[in-house]
Every structure is written in structure tokens, then in C-alpha cells.
């Protein structure tokens, strides 16, 4: 176990048009969790370090992880129709005695696969560990060997991922870092009650937690992918929004709060 004096936190801002964090997916149905998985984040870090598939992941899996949902986004369902360009029947997943895939019976010429994504989501991910390891990962995120991706290779981030390396505890880092929501999400929030704080959900590693995740990678090998279980705890943190508190004198009077312009979307 490391002590607070020799640990720090790697903060990552994961934002992009699309993200997908699968935990239990089949070939024809690729689902996504509502927040980044530990395996997905470790895969991102492994790519930045330039690790090959099958590399030892112990130094990364030992990091404690916490995920703060700053902007949940919305779910997108996509589908693909698969067929053989030669007009031949599709193959089965099983193989014959010679190791060749058998054709479908009866013959099947098209197949639909479904994929799910998160649109316009923003997460703040913290990974706590030995300071030397955190510094190495921060340097890799600045100059990644392989391009970073948000769960799948096609899901690229919109801006630099590295958000800082504070020398503090994981929960403190997730509780003190500024709100990372987009300007559009902030405007939507501003049209509401205008509180000075926003309450954001957090999922964090906790051996005594009442939740579980089957997303700790043992190996990313193409023919030997293995995952272990971890326990997590769900909580919330209160983050300043930067908006003023509602005017107490106007509260309940029907008068719009100070700073609220109902015609702002019309550019008047």
C-alpha cells in the first residue's frame, strides 16, 4: 500500500462526439455503459505508453480509479448490415474438423449488428497511484505513442485529455476539480434554478463498496482476453458552477433570477 505522501492523481477529461465503454458485449450487439470502464481507461493509457497487446498490465490495474459524470450525454443506437460482396452465404461462428468456418444453414446472406454509443458526454476520470507512475502516465498522455480513443478506436477525443496531476487523494481531486460540462450544457443549466453548485455522480474503487464491475483487464491479447471483478462505491460530489445564487428577494415572486435572460437564445 502506498501512503498519501508518495501518491498523486492523474486526472483525465474524456469528452468527444461519441464514446463507447463496453463491458459485456457480443459480436452482433456492442453495448456501452453510462460511464467509462476501468478496462477502457487502462486501454487508453496502455496505448499512450505504446504497450503491445499481451503486455503486463499490473502497474496500471493497481491504480485506483474514480469516474465523475460531468455531462451524461445521450444514448445512440447504430446498426450495420453485413453481407459477403461475392454473394456467398455468411459463415457460422463454429468451425469444421479442418478448422474452417461452416456456412450458415439455411443460407443467410445478410446480418444486422447493433452498436451503442454515448453522444456528447463528458467525464472526469481520476487514477491514484505512486507519484512516479502518475508522472510517467502524464508524460505519455502529452505525447502518446498510439492515438487515444474513448472506448473504441473510432471514438476520438475533442481536446487534450490530460487535466492535471494533483498531489492529493482521489476523492479530494474529484471533489475539487472544476465542472467540465460544455458551454451548451452550462447554458441549459443556467436556464433552470441557477444554483451556485451542481451535484455530480461519482463511481470510485472501494473494497467495501456495494457495487461490482467485471472490467479489470488481466490481458488484452487478441486470443486471451481476461477480466477480473472489482468493487465500487457510488456517491455524489458538489462542484461550484460559477453561477450566482438566486436573488433571495425575488425567490418565489415570479421575477426571473438575477442574470437570467429568457431571450438569450434569440440573440436579442
Query: What is the model's pLDDT at position 101?
Result: 82
- Fill in the DSSP letter of residue 46: H
Would 23 be classed as within a structural domain? yes
Query: What is the model's pLDDT at position 26?
Result: 64
Show the low-confidence residues of the chain (pLDDT under 70): 1-5, 25-27, 192-194, 222-223, 245-268
Domain CATH number, residue 129: 3.30.70.2660
Would 88 be classed as within a structural domain? no
Would 211 be classed as within a structural domain? yes
CB neighbours (10 Å) of residue 89? 15
Query: What is the model's pLDDT at position 5?
Result: 57
Residue in the structure block whose three cell numbers are 488481466: 218
Cα 225 from Cα 240, distance rounded (Å)? 41
The backbone torsions φ and ψ at residue 171, rounded to the nearest 5 degrees and listed phi first, read -65, -35
Would 58 be classed as within a structural domain? yes
Q: What domain range includes position 214?
A: 4-82+103-168+201-236
CB neighbours (10 Å) of residue 40? 25
Cα 236 from Cα 174, distance rounded (Å)? 10
* pTM assigned to the model: 0.81
Give me Rg for the CA atoms of the chain.
23
Q: How many domains does the chain have?
A: 1
* pLDDT per position as a tens digit, 93-119: 777 787 788 888 888 888 888 899 999
Cell of residue 165, nine digits: 496531476
Burial of 43-64, coded b for 16+ CB within 10 Å and e otherwise, reads bbbbbbbebeeeeebebbbebb
Query: What is the model's pLDDT at position 187?
Result: 82
Pick from 184, 182, 178: which is nearest to 164 by CA? 178
Would 251 be classed as within a structural domain? no
Would 127 be classed as within a structural domain? yes
Amino acid at each position: 500500500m502506498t501512503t498519501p505522501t508518495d501518491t498523486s492523481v492523474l486526472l483525465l477529461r474524456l469528452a468527444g462526439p461519441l464514446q463507447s465503454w463496453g463491458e459485456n458485449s457480443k459480436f452482433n450487439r456492442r453495448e456501452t455503459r453510462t460511464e467509462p470502464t476501468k478496462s477502457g481507461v487502462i486501454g487508453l493509457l496502455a496505448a499512450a505508453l505504446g504497450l503491445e497487446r499481451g503486455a503486463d498490465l499490473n502497474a496500471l490495474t493497481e491504480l485506483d480509479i474514480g469516474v465523475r459524470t460531468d455531462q451524461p450525454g445521450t444514448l445512440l443506437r447504430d446498426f450495420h448490415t453485413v453481407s459477403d460482396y461475392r454473394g456467398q452465404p455468411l459463415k457460422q461462428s463454429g468451425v469444421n474438423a479442418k478448422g474452417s468456418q461452416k456456412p450458415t444453414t439455411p443460407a443467410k446472406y445478410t446480418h444486422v449488428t447493433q452498436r451503442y454509443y454515448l453522444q456528447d458526454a463528458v467525464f472526469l476520470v481520476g487514477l491514484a497511484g505512486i507519484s512516479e507512475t502518475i508522472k510517467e502516465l502524464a508524460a505519455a498522455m502529452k505525447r502518446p505513442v498510439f492515438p487515444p480513443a474513448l472506448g473504441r478506436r473510432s471514438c476520438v477525443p475533442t481536446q487534450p485529455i490530460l487535466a492535471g496531476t494533483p498531489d492529493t487523494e482521489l476523492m479530494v481531486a474529484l471533489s475539487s476539480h472544476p465542472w467540465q460540462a460544455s458551454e451548451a450544457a452550462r447554458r441549459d443549466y443556467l436556464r433552470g434554478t441557477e444554483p451556485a453548485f451542481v451535484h455530480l455522480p461519482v463511481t470510485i474503487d472501494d473494497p467495501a463498496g456495494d457495487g461490482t464491475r467485471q472490467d479489470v483487464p488481466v490481458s488484452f491479447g487478441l486470443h486471451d482476453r481476461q477480466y477480473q471483478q472489482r468493487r465500487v462505491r457510488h456517491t455524489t460530489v458538489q462542484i461550484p458552477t460559477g453561477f450566482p445564487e438566486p436573488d433571495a428577494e425575488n425567490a418565489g415572486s415570479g421575477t426571473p433570477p438575477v442574470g437570467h435572460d429568457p431571450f438569450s437564445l434569440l440573440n436579442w
